[in-house]
Amino acid sequence: MRQHAIVIIGGGPAGLAAAISAAEHGEKDLLILERDRELGGILNQCIHNGFGLHTFQEELTGPEYAARYIEKARELGIPCLTDTMVLDISPEKVVTAVSPAEGLFQIQAGAVILAMGCRERPRGALNLPGYRPAGIFTAGTAQRLVNVEGRMPGREVVILGSGDIGLIMARRMTLEGAKVKVVAELMPYSGGLKRNIVQCLEDYGIPLKLSHTVVDIHGKERLTGVTLAQVDGSGRPIPGTEEEYSCDTLLLSVGLIPENELSKSAGVSLSPLTSGPMVDESFQTSTEGIFACGNVLHVHDLVDFVSEESSNAGRHAVEYIRRKRETNSGGCSGKQEETDSAKSSVLEILPGEGVRYTVPSALHMARMEETLKIRFRVRNVYKNCYVTVSAGDHQLLRRKKQILAPGEMEEAVIRREALADVLPAENLTVRIEEV
């Protein structure tokens, strides 16, 4: 059985950033496993611009953004096995994979970084009525067909869901000559970024119908149209509000699900709120030595934040490997004492009023750096409100926000000195205070 210090599962933006960060922090014994034939992940089909504004201070397309990380990984000599499917990860960090070139093989890893990304929620999860005619695609599948395969799914399009991929495909299909008739969203607010609503819908005159859903699908062999209806506060269609739209294509942009089948086999505890792993401030999961980052952890709205998060995960994985080596060599009792102390003083980070989830969900006080960045999403649209972070009676942060929306990820930064008087039993709570 071959051995590697750190094995990264996934060669998309998260896996590449984690591997590069690990290499830059001194770890050379790395390996990236990627199931596609080339690195880059989902970025390869995202040919629109808007990437890299935070990371590189310039506007790049998805392939351009990926290329910079791929080039850097090659410069650092990071080995990668493409066209390689990981079948299983054991709690002991034994990775089982298969590829045409290598056959079935196993790797004993010192640490594993999970960076498998996410997948789209399919039609089967929506309980849409009607037959199953040709012409119904997820927005990501349509994006690959148009941008990579050079094929048009159809000419008259209705889009269900206002996630970012759906909004971007509304613009893309329009530019390719299709007629996008409407974007329908079940919720009373959009699930995508504000800039995408403006640039992809409003600039092209595409209507967005909030609190609407598909109540009927027409056509047996090929899609011929759909019926939309308005929904009430419980998501039930309101009789008498039905509208029919003729179309040959229905694109579904109804959410993304972190790809965590491998995480389950590794014994990692998953959050019921994000469907991703529960992690601490170092992005380590409940299984020691297994880290998670990117969209496999929680769905991001910007790839720049994926890269930032994954770089930190890569750095912490290197620190874990170093502690493990020092412990095995018996050369640093102080480090072991620090590790034991960290285990004994753990604060939970909990979502409070108006907050859907937080990442991370735990903080080891002894390992906390100068600042802790807590990322979260809100449950609804809030205007002129405050983001507060508290521990018992201690208010650690109170920041005014003009607007908060579920489609955009937010963050709260806590400084180490703010936690000086916080007791171990006082968990951190992130909440929204309406004025």
What per-residue confidence (pLDDT) applies to 422?
79
Q: How far apart are CA 64 and CA 310, in angstroms?
A: 19
Q: What is the pTM of this model?
A: 0.92
DSSP helix, strand, coil percent of the chain (3-state; round to 5): 30, 35, 35
Angle at the Cα of 387 from the Cα atoms of 385 and 388, rounded to 5 degrees:
130
What per-residue confidence (pLDDT) applies to 344?
52
Q: Which amino acid is at 328?
A: N
> Is the fold of 1-119+255-331 the same as that of 345-435?
no
What per-residue confidence (pLDDT) applies to 346?
87
Q: What is the pLDDT of residues 108-125, one digit of tens each?
A: 999 999 999 999 998 888
In the sheet that holds 371-378, the strands lie side by side as 355-359, 371-378, 410-415
What per-residue confidence (pLDDT) applies to 335?
45
Q: Are strands 290-292 and 103-114 parallel, antiparallel or unpaired?
A: parallel
Q: Which amino acid is at 368?
A: M
DSSP tally for the chain: helices H, then strands E: 8, 25
Token duo for residue 357? 């989830």
Longest dimension (CA), the chain: 75
What per-residue confidence (pLDDT) applies to 393?
84
Cβ of 327: how many Cβ atoms within 10 Å? 14
**Radius of gyration of the chain from its Cα atoms, rounded to whole angstroms:** 23
What per-residue confidence (pLDDT) applies to 221?
94
The class (CATH top level) of 1-119+255-331 is alpha beta
Q: How far apart are CA 197 and CA 168, in angstroms?
A: 9
Token duo for residue 289? 């030595």
- CA contacts within 13 A on the Cβ side of 262: 27
Q: Are strands 118-120 and 256-258 parallel, antiparallel or unpaired?
A: antiparallel
What per-residue confidence (pLDDT) applies to 334?
45
Helices 303-329 and 13-24 cross at an angle (nearest 10°) of: 40
What per-residue confidence (pLDDT) applies to 174?
97
DSSP secondary structure string, 162-222? Answer: --HHHHHHHHHHHHTT-EEEEEEESSSS-SS-HHHIIIIIGGGT--EEETEEEEEEE-SSB
Cβ of 85: how many Cβ atoms within 10 Å? 12
- CA contacts within 13 A on the Cβ side of 218: 12
What per-residue confidence (pLDDT) applies to 130?
86
Identify the residue whose tokens are 């005014």.
400
- Tell me, which fold does domain 345-435 have in CATH? Immunoglobulin-like (2.60.40)
Domain boundaries, the chain: 1-119+255-331, 122-254, 345-435
The class (CATH top level) of 122-254 is alpha beta
Which of 263, 306, 299, 280 is CA-nearest to residue 361?
280
Q: Which residues of 409-432 are buried (b: 16+ CB within 10 A; e: fewer)?
A: bbebebeeebbeebeeebbbbbbb
Stated as kind and residue range, the H or E segment containing 158 is strand 156-160
Q: What does the chain come to in residues?
A: 435
Q: Which amino acid is at 117?
A: G
What per-residue confidence (pLDDT) applies to 328?
83
pLDDT < 70: residue spans in the chain: 331-344
What per-residue confidence (pLDDT) applies to 308?
96
